[in-house]
Amino acid sequence: MTGYGTASVKTSFGTVTVELKAVNQRFQECHIRLPHHLLKCEEAIRKQVKKQILRGKVDLFVTIEQDATSLKKLTVDTALLDQYIEAANLIAGRLSHGESQRLDAQSLLLHTEIATVTLDTGERAEEMENAILEAVALALASLNEMRLQEGEHLFHDIAESLRQLALLCDQVERQAASMLGDYQEKIKARLQEYLKEVELDHDRLLTEVALLADKADIREEIVRLRSHLTQFDHYCQLDEAIGRRLDFLVQEMNREVNTIGSKALDTQIRQHVVEMKGFIEKIKEQVQNIE
């Protein structure tokens, strides 16, 4: 289910901000963007997200707005610096008078191999990780609140589609009850018309008519479709992840409706089947949003 959540946590070294964005997807997938020096927190973040979001693609961003120089540390490679000084003295000794130049300390400080600015997490590493996980928890809560609101609207929409499916199922059942008798009479009339000059075995005729009528009987499919509708409604009342189970039920409902359409000989029933498939397709799309 789609949603967005964000949260910030203030610490002694700055402010940690976490942003979450979730979009629909059949399985769970989480992409985490962290500053390089915080990569060790990635696994803990991933576990925390997985507990809250079971389906969907999640993009998570962590940023830290640091207080000035709170974690920055200037490191000088003195061994390398000594080599530069030694090399400079050697060069100066080989140059003629007036050509030698003194080492420029400012230039050396800008030399990234000699002087580097690093983040000194040190004693604050635990505080930093705890702040990140706290921000992730708050962002997840914000995300889930948005997803819950969307889910309520989605539930009402799916419930209406299920209601319409049940009504169409009633109409198909009523139509099918009268269809079988009419179908048997039509078959008998046509056979008698085509074979009126041939003496027919009445019992054999009834047997063949019954077999043909049985192939067009859709009562079993209607019973299974009703069962799927009932099971779907039952799952919607559960307080747990039901998305995959609903996926399966939608496939089974679609299978039963397709069978009804292929077996039914009545034009009106076939029209109802077209409408039913429309509602099932709508439910199928909406189920992709359900965890």
- pLDDT tens track for 253-282: 999 999 988 887 778 888 999 999 999 999
How many residues can be counted in the chain?
291
Task: Tell me which H or E stretch contains 28.
Answer: strand 28-33
Of 181, 179, 190, nearest to 267 by C-alpha is: 179
Q: How buried is residue 23: exposed, middle or buried, by Cβ count under 10 Å (0-12/13-18/19+)? A: middle
The token pair that represents 237 in the structure block: 């009342």
Strand order in the sheet with 28-33: 3-11, 14-23, 56-66, 28-33
Residue type, 157: D
* Average pLDDT taken over every residue of the chain: 81
Q: How buried is residue 232: exposed, middle or buried, by Cβ count under 10 Å (0-12/13-18/19+)? A: buried
Task: Indicate whether 140 pLDDT > 90.
Answer: yes
pLDDT tens string 40-55: 889 999 999 988 888 8
Q: Give yes or no: residues 37 and 155 share one domain.
A: no
Q: Give yes or no: residues 56 and 84 share one domain.
A: no
Q: Give yes or no: residues 7 and 141 share one domain.
A: yes
Q: Give yes or no: residues 85 and 115 share one domain.
A: yes
- Its domain, for residue 23, covers 3-68+122-146
Return the C-alpha torsion angle 232, 238, 240, 244, nearest 10: -10
Q: Give yes or no: residues 231 and 177 share one domain.
A: yes
Q: Give yes or no: residues 221 and 96 share one domain.
A: no
Q: Give yes or no: residues 140 and 7 share one domain.
A: yes
The token pair that represents 92 in the structure block: 């100066």
Q: Give yes or no: residues 43 and 178 share one domain.
A: no
Q: How many domains does the chain have?
A: 3
The token pair that represents 221 in the structure block: 């499919």
Q: Cα separation of 178 and 174, whole Å?
A: 7
Confidence of residue 135 (pLDDT cuts 50, 70, 90): very high
Predicted local confidence at residue 32, as pLDDT: 92
Q: Cα separation of 289 and 133, whole Å?
A: 26
pLDDT tens string 231-258: 998 988 887 878 889 989 999 999 999 9
Q: What is the dihedral sign for C-alpha 60, 61, 67, 70?
A: positive
Q: Cα separation of 178 and 286, whole Å?
A: 35
Q: Give yes or no: residues 142 and 99 share one domain.
A: no
Q: Name every residue whose Cβ is closer than 8 Å to that of residue 250 and which is 6 or more positions away in sequence.
A: 232, 280, 283, 284, 287
Q: Give yes or no: residues 105 and 204 share one domain.
A: no
pTM: 0.61
- Alpha-helix runs per DSSP H in the chain: 42-52, 78-94, 105-109, 125-194, 202-215, 219-236, 243-263, 267-287
User: Domain of 13: which CATH number?
Assistant: 3.30.230.40
pLDDT tens string 86-124: 887 777 776 655 555 566 676 666 666 777 766 555 556
289 neighbors 1 (Cβ within 8 angstroms): yes
19 neighbors 61 (Cβ within 8 angstroms): yes
Confidence of residue 217 (pLDDT cuts 50, 70, 90): confident
Q: Give yes or no: residues 129 and 93 share one domain.
A: no
Q: Give yes or no: residues 93 and 174 share one domain.
A: no
Mean of pLDDT values over 128-141: 91
Predicted local confidence at residue 6, as pLDDT: 92
